[in-house]
Chain A
Amino acid sequence: MIDFLPPALILPPALIILFGALLIGPARGAWRTAVVLLTPLLTLAAVWQVPDGVVFTVNFLEYPIEPIEGSAVRRLFATIFALMAFAGGLYAYRQARWYELAAAYAYAAGAIGVSFAGDLISLFLFWELMALFSTVVVWCGGTPGARAAGIRYAIMHLLGGVILKVGIEGVMVHTGSIDVQPMLANNFDTWMILIGILINAAAPPLSAWLSDAYPESSPTGSVFLSAFTTKTAVLALILLFPGEPVLVGIGLFMVMYGILYALLENDIRRILAFSIVNQVGFMVCAIGIGTQMAINGASAHAFAHIIYKALLFMSAGAVVYRTGFNKCSEVGGLFRTMPLTAVCGIVGALAISGFPLTSGFTTKTMISQAAADESLVMVYFLLAAASAGVFLHAGIKFPWFVFFQRDSGLRPKDAPWNMAAAMVFFSVLCILFGVAPELLYRYLPYPVDYQAYTASKVVFYLQLLLFSGLAFFLLLPLMRRTETISLDTDWLWRVALFRGAAAVQALLQRAGALLGRGTESALARAARRARGWFGGTPEDDGVPHGVFARAWPIGTTARWIAVLLTAYVFFYYLA
């Protein structure tokens, strides 16, 4: 099917796009456009030259470093990362600043590097590359809010990196192997690795960084951010923890968390950010199930998800770019003057909801099928409920509040042509993989024996989704937009920590004052006593008056010596 080049001729795909990122700054005009648009395509070509297995090994401090190891699932993720960089570059190159583009491409290089990392050390290095440059992308939002959110984002990811590193060191020391290979979270080391990865997957309780930072970035930056970090975490989980049972529960929690928080949210891009957590929850749950069907489902869903989620962020980004407004309560009725953005947004919304004929349907139903095959009744029904909930919180809520509801009176122009082109490109892919899923199925990690389009499935999901739609419109009065935010676990370190610190500071101050007074009086007392014992020389007679300064009768001395001798003899015999 694919002719691979001999290993010596294989260029590391991550280095190609990293080199492109370095060139974006110095290049000017048409050259910069060429670098932005061609680098991801060259990277894509290189991705498809990577054969199965380890391509080359370098020894570093006695550890075999394998920067490129190919397999079907690794190529699949690297492919979508490269495609994403291309579409993101197309969407952004006329509007974004050059350093945002350069940071986004370096960030993509990190994601592609993680995809092919054959050992834990390379994986960690590319992992940190992502953390570093995604923070820069958040900062490119350029507002004080973006700066603060970027710092919180960086702290969280550096913390996650440290935890991951602790786990990797442990595995290196205790097993002697640094291979990226399946493991179970059954000791301290592997738990640390799992926690480090889950932080990047936005799993509870540390998921707030995502909805905090992504909406603060620029309209173009959030498109890149939506794709890489969480999905590399999904790939890392597929490679390292397939079938880890704890992931099923974590995934289900993420699915529900994403829906409930998105329902409460008013910020357009924050709704989409919460729905990333929701969608990644589907994948994490599937990885926990761990069967071939489930892993295929997680991989396919990650692939489809990157496309429709980026499409949704592109549509939202075009609205933010054109109107300057971020909130549902500020926009509305934009379908009049932004029809293309609205249509593309609706395609993305239908795809994320898993409507038949979209990529969401052909990939998400694989995960439900995997749960049904394993007779996981609760998981199956919760995922079905969540599918209904996705339509509710993202599928209808996003297009309804942005493009329809009331007329806000805003009449912005439609998206600039390059943004429109990127949106149309991804819309076509959403429908293509929905209509012809075998185009995607043949590249999945395991052979696919799955029929998405059976009459039974289509009827079931149509009922589920259409009646969710009915519920949305009937319950609209309960979902009025309010100018609010919803507290998350980050309240603990954004507010409670400071309150705690202030309380401790006040306590210490009082203790200090008390201690100060106590010490003062104790010192004064000691000084008085010392004067009493050692006694100064009063000026009047020149004779010392302290207790020790007096003349003592010889009898007293003899008595003391007798006491000391008796004590000595007593203790001597005791010993």
Chain B
Amino acid sequence: MSRDTGDRETGMIPQGRQPDSRPPQDDAWLARPSTIRLLWWVFAAVLALSVAAEGVFKVKGYFGLDEWLGFGAVYGFLACLAMVLVAKALGWVLKRKADYYAERRDD
């Protein structure tokens, strides 16, 4: 069985090199500000379409509440907002430095 060591050496980052040590080269189409602006417009259009689609395809809810226009959109957004905020609050209590347990091993 041939091991992929040759490939690996060329693919690996040389030891000691830190990310960001090379100036960013935003040559890629996806990374250009103009593309990002365009993507935001497309995204906004898709969002609007997903709500507008309810005009044609009625959402058949199970509990009444979920038949309101744009319920999925509002619910999805608010659920995410709540989760991010709760996670943030939990973070204040639970977050520790990455070497927290390593430090503990030493003392």
Q: Judging by beta carbons under 8 Å apart, are A483 and B97 in contact? A: yes
Question: Does A465 have its Cβ within 8 Å of any Cβ on chain B?
Answer: yes
Contacts of A28 in B (CB 8 A): 1
- Total residues of chain B contacting the partner, CB 8 A: 64
Contact with A along B17-59 (1 / 0, CB 8 A): 0011111111010110000000000010011001101101111
- Total residues of chain A contacting the partner, CB 8 A: 75
Of A194-202, A308-316, A318-326, the stretch lying at the interface with chain B is A318-326
A409's partner among B8, B23, B60 (CB-CB below 8 A) is B23
Contacts of A465 in B (CB 8 A): 76
Interface residues of B in 45-80 (CB under 8 A from A): 46-47, 50-51, 53-54, 56-60, 62-63, 66, 70-77, 79-80
Q: Judging by beta carbons under 8 Å apart, are A479 and B84 in contact? A: yes
A470's partner among B57, B75, B77, B86 (CB-CB below 8 A) is B77
Dominant SS at the B interface? helix
* Cα distance A380–B75 in the bound complex, in angstroms: 13
B4's partner among A416, A454, A469 (CB-CB below 8 A) is A416
With A409-B19, A467-B74 as contacts: A95 and B81 at CB distance below 8 Å: no
Contacts of B76 in A (CB 8 A): 388, 463-468, 471
Query: Smallest distance from the beta carbon of A489 to chain B beta carbons, Å?
Result: 11
B8's partner among A263, A321, A331, A482 (CB-CB below 8 A) is A321
Contacts of B104 in A (CB 8 A): 494-495, 498
Question: Does A443 have its Cβ within 8 Å of any Cβ on chain B?
Answer: no
Contacts of A259 in B (CB 8 A): 83, 87
Closest B residue to A385 by beta carbon equals B79
Q: Judging by beta carbons under 8 Å apart, are A93 and B1 in contact? A: yes
Q: Which of A32, A331, A483 has the most CB of B within 10 A?
A: A483
Dominant SS at the A interface? helix
Closest B residue to A406 by beta carbon equals B24
Interface residues of A in 374-393 (CB under 8 A from B): 377, 380-381, 384-385, 388-389, 392-393
With A32-B1, A456-B58 as contacts: A471 and B94 at CB distance below 8 Å: no
Contacts of A482 in B (CB 8 A): 95
Closest A residue to B74 by beta carbon equals A467
Contacts of B85 in A (CB 8 A): 478
Q: Judging by beta carbons under 8 Å apart, are B59 and A456 in contact? A: yes
B91's partner among A325, A461, A486 (CB-CB below 8 A) is A486
Q: Judging by beta carbons under 8 Å apart, are A333 and B31 in contact? A: yes
B60's partner among A333, A380, A456, A486 (CB-CB below 8 A) is A456
Q: Judging by beta carbons under 8 Å apart, are B81 and A475 in contact? A: yes
Question: Does A155 have its Cβ within 8 Å of any Cβ on chain B?
Answer: no
Query: Smallest distance from the beta carbon of B58 to chain A beta carbons, Å?
Result: 7
Q: Judging by beta carbons under 8 Å apart, are A264 and B90 in contact? A: yes
Contact with B along A425-466 (1 / 0, CB 8 A): 000000000000000000000000000001110111111111
Question: Does A487 have its Cβ within 8 Å of any Cβ on chain B?
Answer: yes
Query: Smallest distance from the beta carbon of A179 to chain B beta carbons, Å?
Result: 37
A483's partner among B1, B2, B98 (CB-CB below 8 A) is B98
Q: Judging by beta carbons under 8 Å apart, are A392 and B23 in contact? A: no
Q: Judging by beta carbons under 8 Å apart, are A29 and B19 in contact? A: no
* Cα distance A478–B57 in the bound complex, in angstroms: 35
Q: Which of B26, B77, B79, B88 has the most CB of A within 10 A?
A: B79
Query: Smallest distance from the beta carbon of A463 to chain B beta carbons, Å?
Result: 3
Interface residues of A in 196-218 (CB under 8 A from B): none
Q: Judging by beta carbons under 8 Å apart, are A410 and B10 in contact? A: no
Question: Does A472 have its Cβ within 8 Å of any Cβ on chain B?
Answer: yes
Q: Judging by beta carbons under 8 Å apart, are A467 and B47 in contact? A: yes
With A33-B1, A94-B3, A409-B22 as contacts: A463 and B83 at CB distance below 8 Å: no
Query: Smallest distance from the beta carbon of A230 to chain B beta carbons, Å?
Result: 22
Q: Judging by beta carbons under 8 Å apart, are B19 and A330 in contact? A: yes
* Cα distance A333–B24 in the bound complex, in angstroms: 10
Interface residues of A in 10-58 (CB under 8 A from B): 28-30, 32-33
Q: Judging by beta carbons under 8 Å apart, are A322 and B59 in contact? A: no
Query: Smallest distance from the beta carbon of B52 to chain A beta carbons, Å?
Result: 10
Q: Judging by beta carbons under 8 Å apart, are B72 and A485 in contact? A: no
Question: Does A361 have its Cβ within 8 Å of any Cβ on chain B?
Answer: no
A464's partner among B43, B57, B75, B97 (CB-CB below 8 A) is B75
With A323-B12, A455-B57 as contacts: A466 and B47 at CB distance below 8 Å: yes
Nearest 5 CB-CB pairs, A to B?
Answer: A463-B72, A471-B80, A455-B57, A409-B22, A385-B79
Mind listing 7 A-B residue pairs with CB under 8 Å?
A: A455-B57, A462-B72, A467-B72, A467-B76, A467-B80, A482-B95, A486-B95
Other A-B pairs beyond A459-B59, A470-B43, A485-B97, 5, CB < 8 Å: A260-B83, A407-B24, A466-B47, A468-B77, A486-B91
